[in-house]
Structures are given as C-alpha cells and as structure tokens.
Homo-oligomer: A and B are copies of this chain.
C-alpha cells in the first residue's frame, strides 16, 4: 500500500507516467482501465508486470517512462479544491512533529488531504490519523485521494466543526491548518499526550501573532515559529543558477509542546522575575 515498493507494476499500484515532453500523469493501475493522453493510450492490463524504470509504448508508438511516484509527485497531482500544504512545508512539519510508524495524529481541517496522505504513509499500519473537516464535500475529495493510495484503513475522516472538540485523547500530535487555530488550543491540549506535538500553519503575521499570544497563556512550551523557503535551481550544467521565479510565501509554521499548565506556572512563580515572554 501507499507508494509501490516492488520492482514491477502490480494491480492497483499508483504509477507515475512521464511522456517525452516531460508531462506527467499519476494513475492507479486498475485492471481493465487505461491511460489516455495526447501521445496515445496505454492499456493497464498490458502494463502489469512491467519493471519500474522502464519505458512502455503507447498505441501511437510514443515512449513513456513508468516509475513509482514520489510523495511530492503525488501532492502536486492531488485533486484539490483548496490551497494545499506545499511539499517544502510537509517534509518539515512531519520531521518537527516526529511522525514515525505507530503515530496517532489529529489534523484539522482535512482540506484536499495532502498532509493526511503524508501522515498516513509515515504512521504505517500501527499508527492512525484522525482527520477533521467541517465541509463534507471537501472531505469527500480527500477520502478519494486517500483511497486511491490504499491508505483508507489508516485514516478516520470526521466531519465536524472542531469547536465541539476532538474525540481522541493521548494522541502524539495535533496539526491545525485552519484560519483561527487559537480558538481550538484547549481542545488540542486535551487531545494530546503529555509532551505531545502541536503544529499549525498560518499565512499572515496577524494570525501568527494571535496564535503565539494564546500559546503563551496555555499549557504549552518550547514555542517555535518558522518559515521554510525553497529555492529551486536550474539543472543545466553549463548554466547553473536559481530559477527566475519562486514561491515567496506559503505560511508560517508554529510548533509547541504540550505540558502541564499548573506545573509551568509554579516554575515561573518560583523565579525572581515576573512572568514574561521568553526571548
């Protein structure tokens, strides 16, 4: 399940097709189905058993590479109705929240399911993702994206306004990708195990400021706010240089660790200085 790890294409594998013009397609190799493109048709029944890394020919005789998609290939091809979290941010988020096999994670909102997918891939069969979203239509899209990857058993989709709280407790991480994450900090804290990871993505400094304020007055510690900036380079050896244009901004990533509030206060009360912001 997930990204195909075998040597040959198997039924229902998710496969990346790369045409001669470098245009790419991602499809589940459903037996009986086929890929139809501007450079010809590939029948999936004939594709099964092909070695990854090889090329196949369309019925028009054009060569097409067959390789397993990477995580960011999949993210770039996700059907979406909202802004997705960019791969540059996804990789950093799961590293900071230390998502490894066995992880139990809450995310809200589901959106188009890019982070959902990555969490499910990394949490493995022993972990589980609880993905909350207010809008049924949006979640239906993410569910389809997750099902296509064969990850449905690792994800529980919950259609709900999270102002009603989360159903889980003692999860390892909570990630909020919604406009007012500060309104749900108590719910997030209640759902996390002690020491658990809180993360959020907010586009504006207004949101960043408000979120930091609320984190400061809650049962949180080790606050961090960061931006991940990705600079792509041209790969032409005689003309190596950064790309002319780049993504200037996606959002600010905020991380914190869940601790016990009373304990934190007592630590600070014991100090000679008044309660103040940590530099």
Contact = CB atoms under 8 A, between A and B. Distances in A.
Interface of A: 2-3, 5, 7, 16, 18, 20, 22, 51-55, 63, 65-72, 87-88, 90-98, 100-103, 118, 121-122, 124-125, 170, 172, 193-197, 203-206, 208-209, 212-213, 215-216, 221-250, 252, 257-260, 263-264, 266-267, 270-271, 277-279
Contacts of A279: 234, 236
Nearest to A196: B53
Nearest to A53: B194
A196 B224 CA distance: 35
Contact residues of A: prevailing secondary structure = mixed
Contacts of A121: 98, 100
Nearest to A91: B95
Given A97-B70, A193-B52, A237 B216 contact: yes
Contact of A277 (B124, B229, B236, B267): B236
Contacts of A72: 95-96
A4 B15 CA distance: 35
**Max chain B Cβ within 10 angstroms of own Cβ: one of A96, A100, A124, A221:** A100
Contacts of A125: 101
B233 A208 contact: yes
B267 A221 contact: no
Contacts of A248: 231-232, 242-246
A66 B245 contact: no
A78 to B, nearest CB: 15
A209 B237 CA distance: 5
B67 A257 contact: yes
Nearest to A229: B229
Contacts of A227: 230-231, 233, 242
15 contacts: A2-B100, A52-B194, A53-B259, A55-B259, A67-B194, A67-B195, A72-B95, A91-B94, A95-B118, A206-B239, A216-B237, A224-B232, A224-B235, A227-B233, A231-B248
Contact of A195 (B66, B172, B194, B239): B66
A228 B235 CA distance: 16
Contacts of A3: 98, 100
Contact of A263 (B22, B54, B91, B230): B54
A108 to B, nearest CB: 21
A205 to B, nearest CB: 4
B52 A267 contact: no
Nearest to A120: B100
Contacts of A239: 203-204, 206
**Max chain B Cβ within 10 angstroms of own Cβ: one of A101, A238, A257, A266:** A101
